[in-house]
Structure 1
Amino acid sequence: MDQKRIIILEDEIIVALDIKEILEELGYACQVFHDFHLALQALDTFNPQLAICDINIGEGPSGIDFVKQALQLKPQLAIIYLTAFSDRKIVELAGKTHPVNYILKPWSDHQIRVSVEMAFDQIFSVAQQSQKLGDLTQSELKILELIAQNKKSKEIADILFISEKTVKNHRYHISKKLNLSTENNSLLAFALSHFGYKNEA
């Protein structure tokens, strides 16, 4: 992977610059934005792999609104939310965008470092798995898309006019080809990260 690039969308300049300083000392390339629209433009010009985004960025669109638009433009963008809120409704809305982590204010330098390292571990893993998508058959890709829509094996079987056992066999073979664990929700997580957001309303 080339240089690790991060955009920081935060309306509090001191907070944004503190995070930028911490991350640049670790070798990350960072750009700070206070404006929703300028941050969206940076997706093309700066091409970040990760966005650290305050859920509440002042008046107008929220950080969640930014992330929704950003993922339409750059579906592989990893997200970390900054928040001082623990409001259930806000967290549920944010969760629908599948962030890799949350950083709660007031944060520590250690929390920033660990969250970003974990995010890039996941970014690297997803990039490796994405390369393996070329090994999947068209049927397997279609099943992954349906898994990302939270369809169960029985529903997928009905949609594709195949048996439920065939769907389960496909799921097993997809997991093996992608080197995913078959004992947890790793296949669902992979499907959501590659196909999920575009299928959400």
Structure 2
Amino acid sequence: MEEKRVLILEDEIIVALDIKEILENLGYRCLVFHAFNSALDSLVTFQPQLLICDINIGEGPSGIDFVIQAQNRVPGLAVIYLTAFSDRQIVEKAGKTHPVNYILKPWSDHQIRVSVEMAFDQIADGGKLSQKLVDLTQAELKILELIAQNKKSKEIADLLFISEKTVKNHRYHISKKLNLSTENNSLLTFALSHFGYKNEA
């Protein structure tokens, strides 16, 4: 079984150590940091799958700034934000980094445990998804992206200079490769949840 590694960035060291203790008792390997730069330096060598990060880490750059840099260094890094408040503007900015979850302070041991378990479930599902996406052709991936932009088959056909029938065939094959139902907009739902972020400004 692969080791599950969690990096914790929290400027209140007592809080970080409490989270570390909870997770280590569950078998996770954890590193704790309370400073932006030392946490950033550890990413390449530690290679965490999950980052638990306080949105506000004292003076200077925010936890969101850290996550942006961390995700550039460790592609596929999952994120859980810790926060003491829910300011809409900050949550919207944090949302652009696609966190798995938010934990509002004061938190309970149960919240931490469940959030981290859910994050690793999502990480595992993402690996399965990546394998399925490898089976798609470039044309199918392009069509999936356009579906995520809420384009209809006719619009996709016009954009790609192909027939509407060809688009419908691609849609059918994509659904089959991804084991999706061909009914109830399951392809649209899948595209929006996995490719919709590409449309964000």
Q: TM-score range by the shorter chain?
A: 0.7 to 0.9
Contact 1:8 1:53 in 2 (8 A): yes
- State the alpha-carbon separation in 1 of the partners of residues 30 and 6 from structure 2: 5
Identical pairs, percent = 75
Give the equivalent residue in structure 1 for 2:53.
53
Deviation at 1:166, TM superposition (A): 4.6
CA displacement, residues 6-53 of structure 1 (integer Å, 9 cap, x when unaligned): 101111100000000000000001111112222223221011111011
Deviation at 1:120, TM superposition (A): 0.5
Change (3 A) 1:37 1:185: farther
Q: Could you tell me which amino acid in structure 2 is paired with residue 39 of structure 1?
A: A
Deviation at 1:75, TM superposition (A): 2.9
Structure 2 counterpart SS, 1:86: coil
Give the equivalent residue in structure 1 for 2:112.
112
Deviation at 1:125, TM superposition (A): 0.4
- Pick the aligned partner of 2:195 from 186, 191, 195: 191
Give the equivalent residue in structure 2 for 1:136.
136
Deviation at 1:73, TM superposition (A): 2.3
Give the equivalent residue in structure 2 for 1:151.
149
Structure 2 counterpart SS, 1:3: coil
Give the count of matched residue pairs.
Answer: 195
Considering only aligned residues, what root-mean-square deviation do their CA atoms show, in Å? 2.3
- State the alpha-carbon separation in 1 of the partners of residues 86 and 180 from structure 2: 32
Structure 1 counterpart SS, 2:53: strand
Give the equivalent residue in structure 2 for 1:28.
28
Give the equivalent residue in structure 2 for 1:13.
13
TM-score of the superposition, structure 2-length normalised? 0.85
Deviation at 1:101, TM superposition (A): 0.5
Q: Which runs of 5 or more residues in structure 1 are unaligned? A: none
Structure 2 counterpart SS, 1:52: strand
Change (3 A) 1:64 1:137: same
Contact 1:175 1:187 in 2 (8 A): no
CA displacement, residues 52-72 of structure 1 (integer Å, 9 cap, x when unaligned): 111111111111111112222
Give the equivalent residue in structure 2 for 1:96.
96
Q: Greater Rg, structure 1 or structure 2?
A: 2
Deviation at 1:89, TM superposition (A): 0.9
Q: Could you tell me which amino acid in structure 1 is paired with residue 14 of structure 2?
A: I
Deviation at 1:168, TM superposition (A): 5.4
Change (3 A) 1:189 1:112: same
Change (3 A) 1:145 1:66: farther
